[in-house]
């Protein structure tokens, strides 16, 4: 591999142990060159002003600033750089805010070295790596508007995003102290979350909570599986949004933001969900704000006949 293929990585992490671990993961990748490290927002901001990079890996919780600010600065000063968050923050607001600021990927710090290395490579190949345990919280963010259609008793049975994250960690065998460290909250707060989880799921033990959480759809077991291709994850998210009553355009908005899918990939995803040609045309037009010719060309590239694509356009008139 020539030096032209070596990708320059800048790493920002305030915990020294985690910094060393991530640095070692990067150094094991022959296609990556760790060109700098920083432990604070101030150090990172100064480095970005004076140096160049291809990839930024950053924590969100920095001692003197917010990783979101660093992402925004990188987007402004180095628009071609790829950005991925590696953080303890697991609630959906942190995820979505980071993505809105310009991050293309989001992994949790407790992911395996192999998963993190694969995530960086996927990022460089144009993908949007995201921890499976995080995908559920993105859905929660976009489905919050649906809560008004459920009854009070149904709402009481649903876990909050933070409670779901605590349950995810319980399913991995984490202790209260380990969960507290991972989520940057106190053990007392963890205990309070667990108490509410037990009440809502009507259980009395951790094992019962994990089983009932999985049975009731409040717990994703994907984190225990090998990492899946981005488009498979995208289809799973799209299916969940469709079941939640989201429109085709809403689904495409999420797929674009979270997974970085282009128009053709979005059309393919809606095809797999058995949307009609007319429904796909309307959703793509609304989500991409594209002209009819571009949509027809994209539909043709995904296997639609000229007649199907033309009829789909005419149905919108």
Give percent of the chain with pLDDT exceeding 70: 82
Contact 237, 258 (CB under 8 A): yes
pLDDT of 63 reads: 87
Q: How confident is the model at residue 266 (pLDDT cuts 50, 70, 90)?
A: very high
Range of the domain at 294: 230-314
Give percent of the chain with pLDDT exceeding 90: 31
Number of domains in the chain: 3
Does the pLDDT value for residue 88 go beyond 80? Answer: no
Considering the domain architecture, whether residues 27 and 108 belong to the same structural domain is answered as yes
Q: How confident is the model at residue 31 (pLDDT cuts 50, 70, 90)?
A: very high
Considering the domain architecture, whether residues 110 and 17 belong to the same structural domain is answered as yes
Note whether residue 126 is domain-resident. yes
Helix, strand, coil shares of the chain as percentages rounded to 5? 60, 10, 30
CATH number of the domain at 201, please: 1.10.10.10
User: Tens digits of per-residue pLDDT, 146-204?
Assistant: 444 444 444 344 788 778 888 888 877 778 888 887 776 788 888 888 988 988 888 88
pLDDT of 11 reads: 97
Note whether residue 51 is domain-resident. yes
Q: Which residue has the higher pLDDT, 227 or 271?
A: 271
Q: Which residue has the higher pLDDT, 236 or 305?
A: 305
Note whether residue 140 is domain-resident. no
Measured distance CA(13)–CA(61) in Å, rounded: 9
pLDDT of 146 reads: 45
Contact 243, 212 (CB under 8 A): no
Considering the domain architecture, whether residues 23 and 48 belong to the same structural domain is answered as yes
Considering the domain architecture, whether residues 122 and 22 belong to the same structural domain is answered as yes
Considering the domain architecture, whether residues 16 and 126 belong to the same structural domain is answered as yes
Considering the domain architecture, whether residues 237 and 217 belong to the same structural domain is answered as no
Measured distance CA(151)–CA(40) in Å, rounded: 46
Measured distance CA(277)–CA(315) in Å, rounded: 10
pLDDT of 199 reads: 86
Q: How far is CA 113 from the centre of its chain?
A: 18
In the numeric block, which tokens belong to residue 30?
Answer: 């022959």
pLDDT of 203 reads: 83
DSSP string, 236-283: HHHHHHHHTT--HHHHHHHHHHHH---HHHHHHHHHHTT--HHHHHHH
Q: Which residue has the higher pLDDT, 161 or 19?
A: 19
Considering the domain architecture, whether residues 97 and 182 belong to the same structural domain is answered as no
pLDDT of 174 reads: 79
Residue after which a domain boundary falls, among 201, 222, 243: 222
DSSP class of residue 145 equals G
pTM greater than the 0.85 cutoff: no
List the one residue out of 88, 95, 114, 94 whose CA is nearest residue 178.
88
Q: How confident is the model at residue 228 (pLDDT cuts 50, 70, 90)?
A: very low
Considering the domain architecture, whether residues 12 and 99 belong to the same structural domain is answered as yes
Residue after which a domain boundary falls, among 189, 222, 255: 222
User: Tens digits of per-residue pLDDT, 125-150?
Assistant: 887 787 766 665 665 555 554 444 44
Question: What SS3 class is residue 8?
Answer: strand
Q: How confident is the model at residue 83 (pLDDT cuts 50, 70, 90)?
A: very high
In the numeric block, which tokens belong to residue 156?
Answer: 């009481």
Residue after which a domain boundary falls, among 130, 157, 191: 130
Considering the domain architecture, whether residues 114 and 185 belong to the same structural domain is answered as no
Note whether residue 106 is domain-resident. yes
Considering the domain architecture, whether residues 238 and 198 belong to the same structural domain is answered as no
User: Tens digits of per-residue pLDDT, 99-108?
Assistant: 778 888 888 8
Does the pLDDT value for residue 304 go beyond 50? Answer: yes
CATH number of the domain at 97, please: 3.40.50.2300
pLDDT of 25 reads: 95
DSSP string, 109-120: TTS-HHHHHHHH
Contact 277, 308 (CB under 8 A): yes
Residue carrying structure tokens 């590239």: 301
Considering the domain architecture, whether residues 180 and 74 belong to the same structural domain is answered as no
Considering the domain architecture, whether residues 199 and 282 belong to the same structural domain is answered as no
């Amino acid at each position: 591999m020539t030096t032209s293929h070596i990708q320059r990585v800048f790493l920002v992490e305030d915990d020294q142990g985690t910094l060393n671990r991530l640095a070692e993961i990067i150094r094991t990748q022959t296609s990556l060159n760790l060109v700098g490290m920083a432990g604070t927002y101030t150090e990172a901001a100064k480095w970005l002003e004076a140096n160049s990079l291809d990839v930024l890996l950053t924590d969100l919780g920095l001692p003197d600033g917010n990783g979101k600010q660093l992402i925004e600065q990188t987007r402004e000063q180095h628009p071609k750089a790829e950005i991925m968050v590696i953080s303890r923050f697991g609630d959906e607001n942190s995820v979505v805010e980071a993505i809105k600021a310009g991050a293309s990927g989001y992994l949790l710090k407790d992911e395996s070295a192999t998963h993190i290395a694969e995530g960086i490579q996927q990022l460089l190949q144009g993908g949007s790596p995201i921890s499976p345990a995080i995908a559920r919280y993105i859905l929660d963010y976009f489905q919050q508007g649906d809560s008004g259609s459920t009854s009070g008793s149904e709402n009481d049975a649903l876990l909050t995003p933070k409670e779901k994250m605590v349950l995810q960690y319980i399913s991995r065998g984490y202790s209260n102290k380990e969960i507290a460290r991972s989520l940057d909250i106190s053990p007392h707060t963890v205990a309070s979350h667990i108490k509410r989880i037990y009440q809502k799921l009507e259980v009395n033990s951790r094992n019962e909570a994990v089983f009932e959480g999985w049975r009731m759809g409040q717990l994703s077991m994907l984190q225990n599986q090998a990492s899946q291709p981005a488009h498979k994850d995208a289809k799973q998210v799209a299916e969940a949004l469709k079941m939640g009553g989201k429109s085709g355009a809403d689904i495409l908005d999420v797929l674009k933001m979270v997974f970085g899918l282009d128009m053709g990939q979005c059309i393919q995803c809606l095809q797999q969900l058995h949307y009609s040609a007319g429904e796909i045309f309307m959703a793509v037009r609304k989500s991409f704000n594209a002209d009819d010719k571009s949509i027809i060309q994209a539909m043709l590239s995904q296997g639609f006949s000229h007649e199907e694509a033309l009829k789909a356009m005419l149905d919108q008139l």
